């Protein structure tokens, strides 16, 4: 069993509590339960009065969450599901209305560190990157079977690898088959001019890996589907609180909040983490929160 110190450090907890919780005895849905950090905070903030529904698509991570917060699990319903199917989860529980939805998008520390998940270029593993271990669509398929044009588009858009997406896509196609994360890193390395590689603040494979992960998990489509479903389940005054890590995610959230007539935007500008938080938790660096309220 892992040490407590190893757990995923939840981002922007104070900000989430401030915006999400409108009453102690409300029903709150954490659509990305992860290792349960935000859930624990919601539980404590509401003095154990809230009912919390914990959803995650990764059952390995749910097991960790359940164990980590086992002393409070009697107040929590855990579900292995995708947030895009949130309506099915709530119908299944016989719940018609809730008071808040939370989404903390991105990858959990467990997924990055976990064995054989293929999310990280720091370890040599099969190309996988599935958040949902039940899905059969993996990074291997994207890397080895997508046409060059499509790969290039994904790396450009989702990876925001604006200048070198085409080159990376071409090198990938010419190096097939590519079977492991280290093989992929080598290909990206060859595609990027050395000057470019050394100039970057983050590892040179970060953007391509992010792009492939977003594609494998259909992350943006799932976010859109989930957002569309939230308003009908919210009590008046209930909130949707989204933490995003990618500018395209944030754009999807912003546009949805602005255009949905059932919602009032509570954050004209996104809320950013404090400098202190960024120092103590590098994952918070690109986090931003947007919140809307059901009218
Ligand atoms: N808030 C959590 C951390 C969440 S990390 C904490 O404080 O510990 C993001 C989580 O979202 C990961 O565990 C990942 O498995 C989950 N996730 C990704 N896509 C999902 C989807 N479509 N449906 C449900 N959960 C998803």
Q: In this predicted structure, what is the pLDDT of residue 192?
A: 97
**Ligand 1 centroid vs 131 CA: distance in angstroms?**
8
Q: Where are the alpha helices (DSSP H) in 138-270?
A: 139-145, 148-157, 165-174, 181-191, 194-199, 206-216, 219-233, 247-259
Closest ligand 1 atom to Cα of 84: 22
**Model pTM score:** 0.95
Whole-angstrom distance, CA of residue 48 vs CA of residue 34 = 20
**Ligand 1 centroid vs 174 CA: distance in angstroms?**
34
Ligand 1 in reach of 114 Cβ (< 6 A)? no
**Ligand 1 centroid vs 191 CA: distance in angstroms?**
32
pLDDT of residue 20 exceeding 80: yes
- pLDDT per residue over 114-153, tens digit each? 788 999 999 999 999 999 999 999 999 999 999 999 999 9
Tokens at residue 191, please?
């595609």
Ligand 1 in reach of 249 Cβ (< 6 A)? no
Ligand 1 in reach of 244 Cβ (< 6 A)? no
Residue 234, beta-bridge partner list? 98
**Ligand 1 centroid vs 198 CA: distance in angstroms?**
32
- pLDDT per residue over 261-288, tens digit each? 999 999 999 999 999 999 999 889 999 9
Closest ligand 1 atom to Cα of 7: 8
* pLDDT level of residue 5 (50, 70, 90 thresholds): low
């Amino acid at each position: 069993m892992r040490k407590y110190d190893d757990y995923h450090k939840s981002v922007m907890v104070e900000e989430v509590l401030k915006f999400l919780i409108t009453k102690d005895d409300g029903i709150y849905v954490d659509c990305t339960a992860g290792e349960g950090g935000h859930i624990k905070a919601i539980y404590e903030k509401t003095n154990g009065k809230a009912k919390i529904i914990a959803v995650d698509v990764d059952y390995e991570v749910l097991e960790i969450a359940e164990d980590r917060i086992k002393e409070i699990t009697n107040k929590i319903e855990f579900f292995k599901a995708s947030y895009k199917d949130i309506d099915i989860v709530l119908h299944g529980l016989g719940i018609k209305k809730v008071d808040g939805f939370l989404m903390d998008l991105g990858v959990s520390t467990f997924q990055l560190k976990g064995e054989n998940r293929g999310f990280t270029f720091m370890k040599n593993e099969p190309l996988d990157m599935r958040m949902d271990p039940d899905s059969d669509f993996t990074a291997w398929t994207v890397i080895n079977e997508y046409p060059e044009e499509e790969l290039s588009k994904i790396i450009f858009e989702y990876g925001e690898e604006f200048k070198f997406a085409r080159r990376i896509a071409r090198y990938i196609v010419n190096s097939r088959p590519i079977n492991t994360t280290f093989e992929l890193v080598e290909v990206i390395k060859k595609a990027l001019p050395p000057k470019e590689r050394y100039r970057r603040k983050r590892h040179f494979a970060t953007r391509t890996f992010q792009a492939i992960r977003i594609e494998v998990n259909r992350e943006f489509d799932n976010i859109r589907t989930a957002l569309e479903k939230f308003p009908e389940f919210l009590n008046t005054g209930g909130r949707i609180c989204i933490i995003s890590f990618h500018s395209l995610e944030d754009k999807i959230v912003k546009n949805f909040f602005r255009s949905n007539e059932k919602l009032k935007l509570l954050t004209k500008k996104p809320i950013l983490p404090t400098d202190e938080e960024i120092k103590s938790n590098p994952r918070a660096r690109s986090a931003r929160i947007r919140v809307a309220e059901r009218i």
